Structure 1
Amino acid sequence: MARRPKIKITYIDRLGKCPCHRGHRPGDSWDFDKDRGEICSMVMHVAFPYIDILRYGGEIPQPGQKKGTAIFCCPDVETINVFKIERIDEEKED
């Protein structure tokens, strides 16, 4: 049975006027399997469908984005944090 690819989540930008209420800062990064309890639950609510699609072989058709990635925003209108999800295939790690 093939291993599931790793998923990396990175906070890449803030579009809103307020900093993240959970304390996340641009540049923060998490391994979905190891660190998911450290990520804001609102972010995870939005991220999970993208993670599920990427992890199980699908792609997110976002113009200008690299295959195996997805960009999305936190639903908090005061912060509007921007996150990037990347599928990390084992062969790319070597």
Structure 2
Amino acid sequence: MSKPDTPFPRLKLTVENVYGHCYHGYKKGDELILEDFTHPPKYFCLGLAHVLFPVIYALSFGAKFPFRDNQRSLLVTCPDGGKLEFKAEIFEKDSDKIQNIPKDPNHKGPKPKKMVIEIVKAKGKCHFGYKMGDKWETTGLKCIPGFCGAAFHTAFPALFALNFGAKFSFMDNPDSIDTVTCPDGGNIIMKVTRVEEDKK
């Protein structure tokens, strides 16, 4: 397979800590390079990919983590017993330099954003009965009571990214993404939007 032609920056994973046996043999200090958020290295651990995807998706669209020494990085833990801890970072576009934004000195703790999930396309049968125009609100990364688990799983990367300031520049409203698709036949497509709340 040839090197992907991608508009997105490369990412780097560094093994920060090892707390148990890793079946992939990752060791402290190992570095893994991803060509972009959709192109992991060969033989990449899919368990790690599962928990990592929201983070690298968010980084790829400009998210910042103000509590980190470098706001453009985040730690991710192996889902198999927490055996490893990885640091995810993103390169400057077309560069070998890691993006670095120093920690926000004014950061005072979490500031979860208001989000809206809306059904923008519907076809076939949805077992939850969702239809065009249905909307739900949530704050930050809170689950929506009674919401379809498969749909929420699909929407979570967008919720995570938007909660930390990501922008989707190709959208009419860059504070939203409208291609979040149900994995069950693609019957439902959702739009996830970060809503600016009035400052009191």
Shorter-chain TM-score category? 0.7 to 0.9
SS of the counterpart of 2:150?
helix
Q: Do 1:70 and 1:86's aligned partners in 2 also have CA atoms closer than 8 Å?
A: yes
Which residue in 1 is equivalent to 2:165? 57
Ranges in structure 1 where 5+ consecutive residues have no aligned partner: none
Q: Distance in 2 between matches of 1:30 and 1:67?
A: 19
SS in 1 for 2:144: helix
Q: Residue 65 and residue 74 in structure 1: after superposition, are their counterparts in 2 closer, same or farther (change >3 A)?
A: farther
Equivalent residue letter for 1:49: P
Q: Partners of 2:120 and 2:143 in 1: how far apart?
A: 17
Q: If the length of structure 2 is used for normalisation, what is the TM-score?
A: 0.40
Q: Distance in 1 between matches of 2:117 and 2:136?
A: 5
Say which of 83, 86, 90 aligns to 2:197: 90
Whole-Å separation in 2 of the counterparts to 1:64 and 1:23:
27
Tell me the amino acid that sits aligned with residue 67 of structure 1: P
Greater helix share, structure number:
1
AA aligned to 1:29 is K
Shift of 1:35: 6.9
Name the % identity: 25
Higher relative contact order (CA 8 A, sep 6+): 1
Query: Based on CA coordinates, which of the two structures has the bigger radius of gyration?
Result: 2
Counterpart of 1:85, as a letter, is V
* Counterpart selection for 1:29 from 135, 147, 152: 135
Unaligned runs of 5+ in 2: 1-107
Matches within 5 A, 1:30-45: 30-33=136-139, 36-45=144-153
CA–CA distance in structure 1, aligned partners of residues 174 and 168 of structure 2: 8
State the superposition RMSD in angstroms.
2.2
**Cα–Cα, structure 1 residues 90 and 64, in superposed 2: closer, same or farther, change >3 Å?**
closer
Letter in 2 for 1:6: K
The alignment partner of 1:7 has SS state of strand
1:73 aligned residue: 181
The total of aligned residue pairs comes to: 89
| 1:34-68 deviation digits (Å, cap 9, x = unpaired) | 7712321111011001100001111235x344111
Q: Does 1:47 align with 2:155?
A: yes
Shift of 1:27: 1.0
Equivalent runs, 1:12-27 vs 2, <5 Å: 12-14=120-122, 16=123, 18-27=124-133
When normalised by structure 1's length, the TM-score is 0.79
C-alpha distance 49-35 of structure 1, shift in aligned 2 (>3 A) = closer
